[in-house]
Structure 1
């Protein structure tokens, strides 16, 4: 088994609405989509964002686009108008996801 950071296999974009974050994750290569489907689960993403207060994650699979959309609840500490942090919009949180280690199955 080999472990690599997610950014080696995919790129991401972030958007927000209130206290909800949307993260789009897109595989660089079509053949990596099944690996991402196995490794980047709702449970792992929720654990990754737990320190920010995330309460739920829903993953929407978009295999035709070799992508996923993650909707993460209560992660923006109240949203842009209520948060005291510097990134109330959540734009940089895609980098947190892209740092997640994934098992590639190759060694």
Structure 2
């Protein structure tokens, strides 16, 4: 039995930006896994996953009515749309970085 899973097997995500702030909303594929997501997908773990982007802060907002977690990563977009030389200055593809995270499986 595997000791970890890939988040993409249990959730989907959408990313957006505002200046130099990256926002990623995560939704479980199965509503039964929402509590597991709340337990395992912590701001600290998300910060570790995005360490290479050097966010200055990672905040998590729980949206129980939608069974969603919204992560806000300050300073994660290399200065934002008008300053970053990166290919994806808006951070739209960064939801896939989060979805590649390894977590303990739900039980």
Asked if Structure 1 and Structure 2 have the same fold, meaning a TM-score greater than 0.5 normalized by the shorter chain, the answer is: yes
Partners of 1:67 and 1:105 in 2: CA distance: 16
- Alignment match, 1:70: 71
Extract unaligned runs of 5+ from structure 2: none
Shift of 1:105: 4.6
Q: Structure 1: any 5+ residue segments left out of the alignment?
A: none
For the aligned residue pairs, the C-alpha RMSD in angstroms reads 1.2
Give the match for residue 53 of structure 1: 54
Q: For each residue in 1:41-91, what CA deviation from the matched residue of structure 2 results, as whole angstroms up to 9, or x when unmatched?
A: 000111111111111111000122111110000000000110011111100
CA contact (8 A) 1:42 1:58 kept: yes
Runs of 4+ in 1 over 6 A off after TM superposition: none
- 1:37-52 to 2 correspondence within 5 Å? 37-52=38-53
Task: Give the corresponding residue for 2:17.
Answer: 16
Q: Which residue matches 2:90?
A: 89
Give the conservation status (yes or no) of the 8 Å contact 1:21–1:71: yes
Q: Is the 8 A contact 2:34 2:68 kept in 1?
A: yes
Q: TM-score when scaled to structure 1?
A: 0.94
